[in-house]
Amino acid sequence: MTFSGKIKQEISNLELSKLEYISELSGIFRTSADIKLYNIRVQTENINVANRIFKIVKNIYGVTSNITIKKNYNFKKNELYIIEIKKDVLKIIKDLGLLNEQGFELLKIPNEFIVSDDELKRAFIRGCFLISGSVNDPKTSRYHLEFLIDDIDFANFLCTLLNEYDLNSKVHRRKKGYMVYIKESEKISQLLAIIKAYEQVLYFEDIRIYREKVNMSNRINNCEQANIEKSMKSALKQIEDINYLKQIDSYDLLDERVKEVADYRIKYPESSLIELSEIISIETNSKMTKSCINHRLRKIRELAEKSRNNGE
Protein backbone atom coordinates (compact mmCIF):
# COMPACT_ATOMS: atom_id res chain seq x y z
CA MET A 1 0.00 0.00 0.00
CA THR A 2 1.27 3.49 -0.84
CA PHE A 3 1.89 6.11 1.82
CA SER A 4 -1.16 8.05 0.58
CA GLY A 5 -3.21 4.86 0.83
CA LYS A 6 -2.12 4.33 4.45
CA ILE A 7 -3.12 7.89 5.31
CA LYS A 8 -6.55 7.45 3.73
CA GLN A 9 -7.01 4.10 5.46
CA GLU A 10 -6.27 5.67 8.84
CA ILE A 11 -8.52 8.71 8.49
CA SER A 12 -11.32 6.62 6.94
CA ASN A 13 -11.70 4.92 10.33
CA LEU A 14 -12.08 8.13 12.36
CA GLU A 15 -15.21 8.54 14.48
CA LEU A 16 -16.60 12.08 14.19
CA SER A 17 -19.55 14.21 15.21
CA LYS A 18 -22.49 14.55 12.81
CA LEU A 19 -21.45 18.07 11.79
CA GLU A 20 -17.89 16.91 11.10
CA TYR A 21 -19.19 14.05 8.94
CA ILE A 22 -21.25 16.57 6.97
CA SER A 23 -18.25 18.87 6.40
CA GLU A 24 -16.06 15.94 5.42
CA LEU A 25 -18.66 14.65 2.96
CA SER A 26 -19.03 18.18 1.57
CA GLY A 27 -15.28 18.24 0.89
CA ILE A 28 -15.45 14.83 -0.81
CA PHE A 29 -18.39 15.76 -3.04
CA ARG A 30 -17.22 19.27 -3.92
CA THR A 31 -13.76 18.06 -4.85
CA SER A 32 -14.67 15.40 -7.39
CA ALA A 33 -18.32 14.34 -7.44
CA ASP A 34 -20.46 14.63 -10.56
CA ILE A 35 -23.44 16.35 -8.97
CA LYS A 36 -26.82 16.71 -10.65
CA LEU A 37 -30.13 17.59 -9.04
CA TYR A 38 -31.26 13.99 -9.32
CA ASN A 39 -28.00 12.07 -8.96
CA ILE A 40 -24.59 12.23 -7.20
CA ARG A 41 -21.77 10.16 -8.62
CA VAL A 42 -18.32 9.78 -7.05
CA GLN A 43 -15.49 7.51 -8.11
CA THR A 44 -12.33 6.47 -6.29
CA GLU A 45 -9.59 3.85 -6.54
CA ASN A 46 -9.47 3.49 -2.76
CA ILE A 47 -11.87 0.96 -1.21
CA ASN A 48 -11.53 2.58 2.23
CA VAL A 49 -12.73 5.90 0.83
CA ALA A 50 -15.62 4.19 -1.00
CA ASN A 51 -16.71 2.50 2.23
CA ARG A 52 -16.35 5.80 4.12
CA ILE A 53 -18.68 7.59 1.70
CA PHE A 54 -21.19 4.73 1.80
CA LYS A 55 -21.29 4.68 5.62
CA ILE A 56 -21.58 8.46 6.08
CA VAL A 57 -24.47 8.74 3.60
CA LYS A 58 -26.18 5.72 5.18
CA ASN A 59 -25.72 6.85 8.81
CA ILE A 60 -26.50 10.56 8.34
CA TYR A 61 -29.21 10.45 5.69
CA GLY A 62 -30.48 6.88 5.82
CA VAL A 63 -29.78 6.50 2.09
CA THR A 64 -28.17 3.37 0.66
CA SER A 65 -25.76 4.20 -2.14
CA ASN A 66 -25.11 2.00 -5.16
CA ILE A 67 -21.49 0.85 -5.47
CA THR A 68 -20.17 -0.42 -8.79
CA ILE A 69 -16.70 -1.91 -9.19
CA LYS A 70 -14.95 -1.58 -12.53
CA LYS A 71 -11.49 -2.32 -13.86
CA ASN A 72 -9.54 0.90 -14.17
CA TYR A 73 -7.57 0.50 -17.40
CA ASN A 74 -4.83 2.98 -16.63
CA PHE A 75 -1.17 2.29 -15.95
CA LYS A 76 -1.90 1.16 -12.39
CA LYS A 77 -4.79 -1.11 -13.43
CA ASN A 78 -6.50 -0.63 -10.07
CA GLU A 79 -10.15 -1.29 -9.46
CA LEU A 80 -12.41 1.73 -9.69
CA TYR A 81 -15.23 2.13 -7.16
CA ILE A 82 -18.20 4.18 -8.34
CA ILE A 83 -20.66 5.39 -5.69
CA GLU A 84 -24.06 6.67 -6.86
CA ILE A 85 -26.74 8.35 -4.76
CA LYS A 86 -30.17 8.64 -6.37
CA LYS A 87 -32.41 9.30 -3.38
CA ASP A 88 -32.90 12.59 -1.46
CA VAL A 89 -30.25 14.21 -3.64
CA LEU A 90 -31.55 17.78 -3.23
CA LYS A 91 -31.73 17.44 0.53
CA ILE A 92 -28.20 16.03 0.73
CA ILE A 93 -26.45 18.60 -1.46
CA LYS A 94 -28.29 21.43 0.28
CA ASP A 95 -27.31 20.00 3.67
CA LEU A 96 -23.69 19.84 2.46
CA GLY A 97 -23.72 23.54 1.56
CA LEU A 98 -23.41 22.88 -2.16
CA LEU A 99 -26.74 24.35 -3.32
CA ASN A 100 -27.79 28.00 -3.42
CA GLU A 101 -30.69 29.27 -1.35
CA GLN A 102 -33.09 29.13 -4.28
CA GLY A 103 -32.26 25.47 -4.76
CA PHE A 104 -31.48 25.76 -8.47
CA GLU A 105 -27.71 26.25 -8.76
CA LEU A 106 -24.73 24.25 -7.53
CA LEU A 107 -22.13 26.32 -5.71
CA LYS A 108 -18.44 26.42 -6.61
CA ILE A 109 -17.60 27.42 -3.03
CA PRO A 110 -19.44 25.68 -0.15
CA ASN A 111 -21.58 27.76 2.19
CA GLU A 112 -19.80 29.29 5.18
CA PHE A 113 -21.47 27.02 7.75
CA ILE A 114 -19.53 24.03 6.34
CA VAL A 115 -16.23 25.53 7.57
CA SER A 116 -17.53 27.71 10.40
CA ASP A 117 -15.13 26.46 13.10
CA ASP A 118 -11.75 24.74 13.41
CA GLU A 119 -13.02 21.14 13.60
CA LEU A 120 -15.28 21.62 10.58
CA LYS A 121 -12.40 23.14 8.58
CA ARG A 122 -10.25 20.14 9.43
CA ALA A 123 -13.07 17.78 8.43
CA PHE A 124 -13.57 19.58 5.11
CA ILE A 125 -9.83 19.45 4.33
CA ARG A 126 -9.82 15.77 5.29
CA GLY A 127 -12.68 15.10 2.85
CA CYS A 128 -10.78 16.89 0.06
CA PHE A 129 -7.69 14.81 0.78
CA LEU A 130 -9.61 11.52 0.87
CA ILE A 131 -10.84 11.93 -2.67
CA SER A 132 -8.17 14.04 -4.41
CA GLY A 133 -5.09 14.19 -2.18
CA SER A 134 -1.76 12.41 -2.45
CA VAL A 135 1.62 12.74 -0.79
CA ASN A 136 5.04 11.30 -1.58
CA ASP A 137 6.45 8.73 0.80
CA PRO A 138 9.07 10.56 2.94
CA LYS A 139 11.59 7.90 1.93
CA THR A 140 11.64 9.37 -1.59
CA SER A 141 14.02 12.13 -2.63
CA ARG A 142 11.54 15.00 -2.40
CA TYR A 143 8.62 16.12 -0.26
CA HIS A 144 5.38 16.85 -2.06
CA LEU A 145 1.68 16.87 -1.12
CA GLU A 146 -1.06 17.84 -3.54
CA PHE A 147 -4.79 18.09 -4.13
CA LEU A 148 -6.09 17.82 -7.71
CA ILE A 149 -8.92 20.31 -8.23
CA ASP A 150 -11.06 20.92 -11.33
CA ASP A 151 -11.96 24.59 -10.78
CA ILE A 152 -9.77 27.64 -10.17
CA ASP A 153 -12.20 29.29 -7.74
CA PHE A 154 -12.39 26.19 -5.57
CA ALA A 155 -8.62 25.66 -5.85
CA ASN A 156 -8.05 29.19 -4.52
CA PHE A 157 -10.64 28.60 -1.78
CA LEU A 158 -8.91 25.40 -0.65
CA CYS A 159 -5.48 27.05 -0.82
CA THR A 160 -6.70 29.92 1.36
CA LEU A 161 -8.24 27.46 3.82
CA LEU A 162 -4.96 25.54 4.10
CA ASN A 163 -3.00 28.73 4.61
CA GLU A 164 -5.15 29.62 7.60
CA TYR A 165 -2.97 26.96 9.23
CA ASP A 166 0.22 28.58 7.87
CA LEU A 167 0.93 25.71 5.47
CA ASN A 168 2.39 27.86 2.69
CA SER A 169 0.30 26.06 0.04
CA LYS A 170 0.19 27.28 -3.57
CA VAL A 171 -1.93 26.76 -6.69
CA HIS A 172 -0.47 25.53 -9.97
CA ARG A 173 -2.33 25.15 -13.25
CA ARG A 174 -2.08 21.78 -15.00
CA LYS A 175 -3.23 20.56 -18.40
CA LYS A 176 -6.42 19.35 -16.78
CA GLY A 177 -7.52 21.34 -13.76
CA TYR A 178 -5.39 22.75 -10.96
CA MET A 179 -3.04 21.48 -8.30
CA VAL A 180 -2.99 22.84 -4.75
CA TYR A 181 0.35 21.74 -3.32
CA ILE A 182 2.69 21.89 -0.32
CA LYS A 183 6.45 21.31 -0.63
CA GLU A 184 7.94 21.86 2.84
CA SER A 185 8.36 18.73 4.95
CA GLU A 186 7.35 20.45 8.22
CA LYS A 187 4.16 21.79 6.60
CA ILE A 188 3.24 18.39 5.16
CA SER A 189 3.63 16.85 8.60
CA GLN A 190 1.48 19.62 10.03
CA LEU A 191 -1.27 18.96 7.46
CA LEU A 192 -1.30 15.24 8.31
CA ALA A 193 -1.85 16.22 11.94
CA ILE A 194 -4.65 18.61 10.91
CA ILE A 195 -6.56 15.80 9.19
CA LYS A 196 -5.82 13.54 12.19
CA ALA A 197 -3.61 10.99 10.43
CA TYR A 198 -1.59 10.71 13.64
CA GLU A 199 -0.01 7.29 13.02
CA GLN A 200 1.31 8.44 9.66
CA VAL A 201 2.58 11.68 11.21
CA LEU A 202 4.81 9.56 13.47
CA TYR A 203 6.04 7.52 10.50
CA PHE A 204 6.63 10.68 8.44
CA GLU A 205 8.53 12.41 11.26
CA ASP A 206 10.70 9.35 11.97
CA ILE A 207 11.78 9.17 8.31
CA ARG A 208 12.17 12.95 8.01
CA ILE A 209 14.37 13.19 11.10
CA TYR A 210 16.46 10.22 9.96
CA ARG A 211 16.98 11.80 6.52
CA GLU A 212 17.94 15.13 8.09
CA LYS A 213 20.49 13.38 10.32
CA VAL A 214 21.98 11.58 7.30
CA ASN A 215 22.11 14.84 5.34
CA MET A 216 23.71 16.62 8.29
CA SER A 217 26.30 13.85 8.65
CA ASN A 218 27.07 14.09 4.94
CA ARG A 219 27.47 17.86 5.19
CA ILE A 220 29.79 17.51 8.20
CA ASN A 221 31.85 14.84 6.43
CA ASN A 222 32.07 17.03 3.33
CA CYS A 223 33.22 19.98 5.43
CA GLU A 224 35.79 17.85 7.24
CA GLN A 225 37.08 16.49 3.93
CA ALA A 226 37.27 20.00 2.50
CA ASN A 227 39.19 21.18 5.58
CA ILE A 228 41.60 18.23 5.32
CA GLU A 229 42.24 18.95 1.64
CA LYS A 230 42.71 22.64 2.35
CA SER A 231 45.12 21.83 5.18
CA MET A 232 47.11 19.43 2.98
CA LYS A 233 47.31 21.98 0.18
CA SER A 234 48.66 24.60 2.60
CA ALA A 235 51.19 22.15 4.05
CA LEU A 236 52.49 21.22 0.59
CA LYS A 237 52.92 24.90 -0.27
CA GLN A 238 54.78 25.51 3.00
CA ILE A 239 57.12 22.57 2.33
CA GLU A 240 57.67 23.81 -1.21
CA ASP A 241 58.70 27.24 0.14
CA ILE A 242 61.07 25.68 2.67
CA ASN A 243 62.74 23.46 0.07
CA TYR A 244 63.02 26.42 -2.31
CA LEU A 245 64.85 28.48 0.32
CA LYS A 246 67.22 25.60 0.95
CA GLN A 247 67.79 25.19 -2.78
CA ILE A 248 68.82 28.83 -3.25
CA ASP A 249 70.87 28.88 -0.02
CA SER A 250 68.54 31.39 1.67
CA TYR A 251 67.36 29.06 4.41
CA ASP A 252 70.02 30.31 6.83
CA LEU A 253 68.55 33.81 6.56
CA LEU A 254 65.71 32.58 8.81
CA ASP A 255 66.15 32.89 12.58
CA GLU A 256 66.39 29.77 14.70
CA ARG A 257 62.80 29.89 15.93
CA VAL A 258 61.46 29.99 12.38
CA LYS A 259 63.84 27.20 11.32
CA GLU A 260 62.53 25.08 14.18
CA VAL A 261 58.96 25.34 12.83
CA ALA A 262 60.23 24.68 9.30
CA ASP A 263 61.99 21.50 10.44
CA TYR A 264 58.83 20.23 12.13
CA ARG A 265 56.78 21.12 9.05
CA ILE A 266 59.10 18.91 6.94
CA LYS A 267 59.05 16.14 9.53
CA TYR A 268 55.23 16.10 9.86
CA PRO A 269 53.93 17.07 6.41
CA GLU A 270 50.37 15.76 6.97
CA SER A 271 49.74 17.44 10.33
CA SER A 272 47.43 20.41 10.70
CA LEU A 273 48.67 23.55 12.44
CA ILE A 274 46.85 22.55 15.62
CA GLU A 275 48.44 19.09 15.54
CA LEU A 276 51.81 20.61 14.77
CA SER A 277 51.52 22.96 17.76
CA GLU A 278 50.76 20.01 20.04
CA ILE A 279 53.70 17.99 18.67
CA ILE A 280 56.20 20.86 19.08
CA SER A 281 54.89 21.67 22.56
CA ILE A 282 55.34 18.06 23.68
CA GLU A 283 58.71 17.42 22.04
CA THR A 284 60.31 20.73 23.06
CA ASN A 285 58.55 20.96 26.40
CA SER A 286 57.74 24.54 25.48
CA LYS A 287 54.26 25.88 24.70
CA MET A 288 53.78 26.56 20.98
CA THR A 289 50.46 27.96 19.80
CA LYS A 290 48.81 27.60 16.41
CA SER A 291 48.99 31.36 15.81
CA CYS A 292 52.71 31.36 16.61
CA ILE A 293 53.36 28.57 14.07
CA ASN A 294 51.23 30.35 11.51
CA HIS A 295 53.19 33.58 12.08
CA ARG A 296 56.56 31.83 11.54
CA LEU A 297 55.36 29.97 8.45
CA ARG A 298 54.19 33.29 7.07
CA LYS A 299 57.73 34.64 7.43
CA ILE A 300 58.95 31.65 5.38
CA ARG A 301 56.36 32.34 2.70
CA GLU A 302 57.24 36.04 2.53
CA LEU A 303 60.94 35.31 2.17
CA ALA A 304 60.29 32.68 -0.50
CA GLU A 305 58.04 35.03 -2.48
CA LYS A 306 60.56 37.86 -2.20
CA SER A 307 63.34 35.55 -3.41
CA ARG A 308 61.27 34.37 -6.35
CA ASN A 309 60.44 37.94 -7.34
CA ASN A 310 64.09 38.96 -7.16
CA GLY A 311 64.99 35.93 -9.25
CA GLU A 312 62.55 36.99 -11.94
Domain residue ranges in the chain: 3-196, 231-311
Task: Quote the mean pLDDT of the chain.
Answer: 86
Q: Coil, helix or strand for 118?
A: helix
Mean pLDDT, to the nearest integer, of 222-230?
73
pLDDT band at 158; cut points 50, 70, 90:
very high
Q: Examine the pLDDT at 170 and tell me if it is beyond 90.
A: yes
- With 0-12 / 13-18 / 19 or more C-beta atoms within 10 angstroms meaning exposed / middle / buried, residue 126 is buried
Residue range 117-156, pLDDT digits in tens: 999 999 999 999 999 999 988 887 688 999 999 889 999 9
Q: Quote the pTM value.
A: 0.69
Q: What class does CATH assign to 3-196?
A: alpha beta
Angle between helices 273-284 and 290-311 (to 10 degrees): 110
- DSSP H or E stretch at residue 290: helix 290-311
> Does the pLDDT of residue 312 top 50, yes or no?
no
Q: Name residue 235's amino acid.
A: A
pLDDT tens for each residue of 66-113: 888 887 665 555 788 899 998 888 888 888 888 776 655 678 888 899
